[in-house]
Chain A
Amino acid sequence: MLSRIAESLFWIGRYVERADNTARLLDVHLNVLLEDPWVDEPSANASILAVMNCEFEGPVSRSDVLATLAFDRDRSSSIAGTMAAARENARRAREVISTEVWESLNMTRNQLPRWSQASRPHEYFVWVRERAAVVWGLSSATTSRDDAWHFMELGRSLERADMIARLLMTRSLEGTTGPNWTTLLRTCSAHEAYLRTVRALVTEERAAEFLLIDRLFPRSIAYNLDRAETILSEIDGAGASRALADRARLALGRARTNLEYRDVGEILADLPAQMREVQKACATASDLIRDRYFLPASTVMWSQEAL
């Protein structure tokens, strides 16, 4: 697989997953604003932007949050921006991805403008999650489990771990008590699965445990870190620079075991910092993957040949 194509596939995976999770996160945030009677809206809005690493000057209104995270076409943390970017990457890797996946991404991009005026953002979020599901469904049904699949899955699982960590950070936003754990479980489509697995009412510790380290549920952080590690070991190209890929696995594994072997009460007491560690591990792994698989080994060739 060409390095350039692999990089595009990796980012398609990340972008589509990011759009999906941003939609979930915004949906829950707007709900909190409605339901929390003592909410301090500007600071709650400011801190959700901070969670998504967006800078903003002055008091932040609800529509600012939506403009920044939902509709801005030029931002890598907005839904519209990531969906459009996923489509551009798909165009670059057009000959590798299946026609069905390409068309679903292309259609999504084409339909984006009609949502920018949506009066009910909730419908937009539902649509985004549906489109992401269509992309994943088609890609899972039409892609050979070769490197093309691996790189897309790798991007997706990294992004999912990262985004769930960001979502959990909203538990401790400024200016609001934040969403309760039932809401968080619902946001991750985990409520039913939680009830079946834990067989008990939602308690803080159990719910946190479920979203952090459940081994079977596909939207727990540990599940996705583990998945990324596995994929990294499955990607071909063992050999000379194996070390870099191993270091990526190391970063992910360390973050995962930290969650798995630490007392959940301890994590909850220090949730924002712990979640930041998860995000950092994902970023480190992402950089190492780039260095290992996507960057040219050297760019001095042309002067060598010229001499």
Chain B
Amino acid sequence: MTSDSLHTPWTGYSPQAAWDEAVDVHGKVREPYARVYAEIDRMSGDDLYARAEALASTYLAQGVTFDHAGEERPFPLDIVPRVIGADEWDIISPGVAQRVRTLEAFLADVYGSQRCVTDGIVPRKLIASSQYFYRSVAGVDPANGVRVHVSGIDLVRDQHGIWRVLEDNVRVPSGVSYVLSNRRAMSQMFPDMFGAMGVRPVLEYSQRLRSALAKAAPEDVDDPTIVVLTPGVFNSAYYEHSLLARTMGVELVEGRDLETHNGRVYMRTTAGRRRVDVIYRRIDDDYLDPIAFRPDSTLGAPGLINAARMGNVTIANAVGNGVADDKLIYTYMPDLTRYYLGEEPILPNVDTWRLEEPEAREEVMDRLHELVVKPVDGAGGKGVTIGPKVSKTELEAVRKQILADPRGWVAQPVVQLSTVPTLTEEGLDPRHVDLRPFAINDGDDVWVLPGGLTRVALAKGQLIVNSSQGGGSKDTWVLGGVRHRGTAQPPPEARVEFSGIGSVPQASHPEDYAAGQEQQQQQQQQGEPKATAQADDAADHLGANGHDGGEG
């Protein structure tokens, strides 16, 4: 843009092997990023850093933090937004919805008649051996048939630019609060760009969630009492729990606030017990109810599962969902989509070897150094080994682990996650990202939040993006929203309204704006040599004089 300075923040930005979402291999800016590129191009590097610092300090003030090793840190938000074009979103959104519908159908089946086993789609022992398959909830029919009220389907973009599903999260997917607060911070930081690009809004998430939870209430309840159940203030996602409760306008409870009597759940309030109908729980299954699961857990409330079985309370997401987001079941997802929905999967999986199968083990064991090995029940990037990045001894250890427990591991080729420009200490540089779109199922419809959490690996070349592993985040802008600003003329009816505005005068103290005082002010200003330039000073003097006069 500017001809006098050739050095812009983009100088030196060069994508590596992976698919870069902003710039193609020839160095040409991709269409969705054009506006962002131009805006940043106009800035100086210092300006960019100043804005990044401002972002961090607003997060500290707002308390948008996460717990890292017992310390509260501002959640890292990168200053460059990630942009997703409307055409790409038209693939992602239905793809994610399809995935959720498949997961729902699978869960209903697994905890019902297990047709998928009898029809030979999924081996029985796979379900029986899953540690997240809970017999205690088999045969429980949720109120409106929904088990996956909220899901986060992790997507990546491979080196050819194809979106693939990396994993499904249907237990307690977290991160949506950061989508909401990232958006608020970024739209304040880049108001012009934001308004002009037609970014789809994310704010309605809380309303959607609330209405989905209300629809999931036990049948005889008209006006359900909804609560968010948190493990407590020391949980790393506490910020999210409190934000969701606040924006939905419901209570945030801890396990000790709840009690059960005769299969009904109550919360303890200052006005006595109050019945609870829907619990949006952010506690893992195992800790939810010391009677049904871990007897040593103090996070949940005793008797919850019993109350849910009796249909007196809805637990969202349903207990036992973990059987569906197991990384082994993941490998069956394309087949399950065809089986349950009769549709071709819109979003492909990442190729995965099930290491419990001898053929797969044979194929894989010799080339672990070029593969990614994951535990099937892992979350947060724990236990993931990236073959090309580790030493021989580490590989040997992984090999032994696999042989000891083949059911527990899967292997995948290294996916070169796509990169997005990210502000680092050396200026803008490509960094690997993934995307977690959030979907809400209210029983009638699966709604996918336009955008989602983009996690970015802040270290160069790093492929693990989890925030517990030092990852950051980006605001994700999905284009194609309707533009409200400055486009259309207001309709004629609105004009009639406008002319009415301002007709009621704003009152003031009769002596404050009297003619005499204005004259006084004018006199004083004439007396000042540079009256126009120092108009503010003159007014200050007047104020001070007036005050003195009053006291004297």
- Residues in chain A within 8 A of chain B (CB atoms): 1-6, 88, 91-92, 94-95, 99, 102-103, 106-107, 110, 147, 151, 235-237, 239-240, 293-294, 296-297, 301-302, 305-306
Given contacts A95-B242, A301-B259, A301-B303, contact A102 B270 (CB under 8 A): no
CB < 8 Å: which of B233, B254, B256, B291 contacts A306? B291
Are A302's CB and B257's CB within 8 A? no
Q: What residues of chain A lie closer than 8 Å to B103, measured between beta carbons?
A: none
Sample of 5 further A-B pairs with CB below 8 A, known A236-B271, A237-B272, A301-B302: A2-B251, A2-B253, A2-B270, A91-B238, A94-B252
B391 within 8 A of A: no
Docked complex Cα distance between A301 and B289 (Å): 13
Q: What residues of chain B lie closer than 8 Å to A151, measured between beta carbons?
A: 270
Q: What residues of chain A lie closer than 8 Å to B115, measured between beta carbons?
A: none
Write the nearest CB–CB distance from B235 to chain A, whole angstroms. Answer: 12
Q: What residues of chain A lie closer than 8 Å to B246, measured between beta carbons?
A: 94-95
Are B303's CB and A305's CB within 8 A? yes
Map CB proximity to A onto B290-303 as digits: 1 under 8 Å, 0 otherwise.
Answer: 11000000000011
Docked complex Cα distance between A306 and B60 (Å): 44
Are A2's CB and B62's CB within 8 A? no
Of all chain A residues, which has the CB nearest B290?
A302
Are A91's CB and B233's CB within 8 A? yes
Are A302's CB and B302's CB within 8 A? yes
B267 within 8 A of A: yes
Q: What residues of chain A lie closer than 8 Å to B259, measured between beta carbons?
A: 296, 301
Are B271's CB and A237's CB within 8 A? yes
Are A3's CB and B270's CB within 8 A? yes
Are A296's CB and B61's CB within 8 A? no
B385 within 8 A of A: no
The contact sample of 5 A-B pairs, CB cut-off 8 A, is A2-B268, A3-B268, A106-B61, A305-B291, A305-B306
Are B270's CB and A235's CB within 8 A? yes
Are A103's CB and B242's CB within 8 A? no
CB < 8 Å: which of B242, B256, B260, B303 contacts A4? B256
Write the nearest CB–CB distance from B551 to chain A, whole angstroms. Answer: 13
Q: What residues of chain B lie closer than 8 Å to A240, measured between beta carbons?
A: 272
Q: What residues of chain B lie closer than 8 Å to A88, measured between beta carbons?
A: 233
Of all chain B residues, which has the CB nearest A305?
B303
Docked complex Cα distance between A91 and B245 (Å): 13
Are A2's CB and B257's CB within 8 A? yes
Write the nearest CB–CB distance from A304 to chain B, whole angstroms. Answer: 9
Of all chain B residues, which has the CB nearest A109?
B63
CB < 8 Å: which of B61, B253, B254 contacts A107? B61
Given contacts A91-B233, A305-B291, contact A297 B63 (CB under 8 A): no
Among residues 53 to 109 in chain B, which have CB atoms less than 8 Å away from a CB atom of chain A?
Answer: 60-63
Given contacts A91-B63, A106-B63, contact A236 B233 (CB under 8 A): no
Docked complex Cα distance between A102 and B267 (Å): 24
Q: What residues of chain A lie closer than 8 Å to B260, measured between beta carbons?
A: 301, 305
Are B268's CB and A297's CB within 8 A? yes
CB < 8 Å: which of A94, A103, A237, A301 contacts B270? A237
Q: What residues of chain A lie closer than 8 Å to B257, measured between beta carbons?
A: 2-4
Q: What residues of chain B lie closer than 8 Å to A293, measured between beta carbons?
A: 270
Q: What residues of chain A lie closer than 8 Å to B306, measured between beta carbons?
A: 305
CB < 8 Å: which of B238, B271, B290, B291 contacts A1? B271
Of all chain B residues, which has the CB nearest A3?
B268
Q: What residues of chain A lie closer than 8 Å to B393, measured between beta carbons?
A: none
Of all chain B residues, which has the CB nearest A88?
B233
Q: What residues of chain B lie closer than 8 Å to A107, measured between beta carbons?
A: 61
Docked complex Cα distance between A301 and B300 (Å): 13
Map CB proximity to A onto B238-274 as digits: 1 under 8 Å, 0 otherwise.
Answer: 1000110110000111101101110000011111100
Most buried by B among A296, A297, A301, A305: A305
Most buried by A among B63, B245, B254: B63
Docked complex Cα distance between A156 and B246 (Å): 24
Q: What residues of chain B lie closer than 8 Å to A147, measured between beta carbons?
A: 270
Q: What residues of chain B lie closer than 8 Å to A4, measured between beta carbons?
A: 254, 256-257, 268
CB < 8 Å: which of A1, A94, A103, A302 contacts B269? A1
Q: What residues of chain B lie closer than 8 Å to A102, measured between beta carbons?
A: 63
Docked complex Cα distance between A237 and B252 (Å): 20
Write the nearest CB–CB distance from A222 to chain B, whole angstroms. Answer: 27
Are A296's CB and B302's CB within 8 A? no
Given contacts A302-B302, A306-B291, contact A296 B256 (CB under 8 A): yes
Are A94's CB and B302's CB within 8 A? no
Docked complex Cα distance between A4 and B258 (Å): 11
Of all chain A residues, which has the CB nearest B244?
A95
Are B302's CB and A103's CB within 8 A? no
Write the nearest CB–CB distance from B417 to chain A, whole angstroms. Answer: 34
Write the nearest CB–CB distance from A148 to chain B, whole angstroms. Answer: 10
Q: What residues of chain A lie closer than 8 Å to B269, measured between beta carbons?
A: 1-3, 237
Q: What residues of chain B lie closer than 8 Å to A103, measured between beta carbons?
A: 61-63
Write the nearest CB–CB distance from A101 to chain B, whole angstroms. Answer: 12
Q: What residues of chain B lie closer than 8 Å to A92, measured between beta carbons?
A: 233
Q: What residues of chain B lie closer than 8 Å to A301, measured between beta carbons?
A: 259-261, 302-303
Are A296's CB and B268's CB within 8 A? yes
Across chains A and B, which 7 residue pairs bring their CB atoms closest together, nearest first? A237-B271, A302-B302, A95-B246, A95-B245, A94-B242, A305-B303, A293-B270
Q: What residues of chain B lie closer than 8 Å to A110, measured between beta carbons?
A: 60-61
Write the nearest CB–CB distance from A208 to chain B, whole angstroms. Answer: 30
Q: What residues of chain B lie closer than 8 Å to A296, measured between beta carbons?
A: 256, 259, 268
Docked complex Cα distance between A296 and B261 (Å): 14
Of all chain B residues, which has the CB nearest A110?
B60
Docked complex Cα distance between A110 and B58 (Å): 12
Among residues 470 to 502 in chain B, which have CB atoms less than 8 Å away from a CB atom of chain A?
Answer: none
Docked complex Cα distance between A147 and B261 (Å): 26
Q: What residues of chain B lie closer than 8 Å to A99, measured between beta carbons?
A: 62
Are A306's CB and B272's CB within 8 A? no
Q: What residues of chain B lie closer than 8 Å to A5, measured between beta carbons?
A: 251
Q: What residues of chain A lie closer than 8 Å to B253, measured between beta carbons?
A: 2
Q: What residues of chain A lie closer than 8 Å to B254, measured between beta carbons?
A: 4
Q: What residues of chain A lie closer than 8 Å to B63, measured between beta carbons?
A: 91, 94, 102-103, 106
Are A236's CB and B270's CB within 8 A? yes
Of all chain B residues, which has the CB nearest A306?
B291
Docked complex Cα distance between A305 and B270 (Å): 24
Q: What residues of chain B lie closer than 8 Å to A94, measured between beta carbons?
A: 63, 242, 246, 252
Are A1's CB and B270's CB within 8 A? yes
Map CB proximity to A onto B107-140 as digits: 1 under 8 Å, 0 otherwise.
Answer: 0000000000000000000000000000000000
Of all chain B residues, which has the CB nearest A298?
B259
Q: What residues of chain A lie closer than 8 Å to B271, measured between beta carbons?
A: 1, 236-237, 239
Q: What residues of chain A lie closer than 8 Å to B233, measured between beta carbons?
A: 88, 91-92
Docked complex Cα distance between A289 and B467 (Å): 42
Write the nearest CB–CB distance from A92 to chain B, whole angstroms. Answer: 5
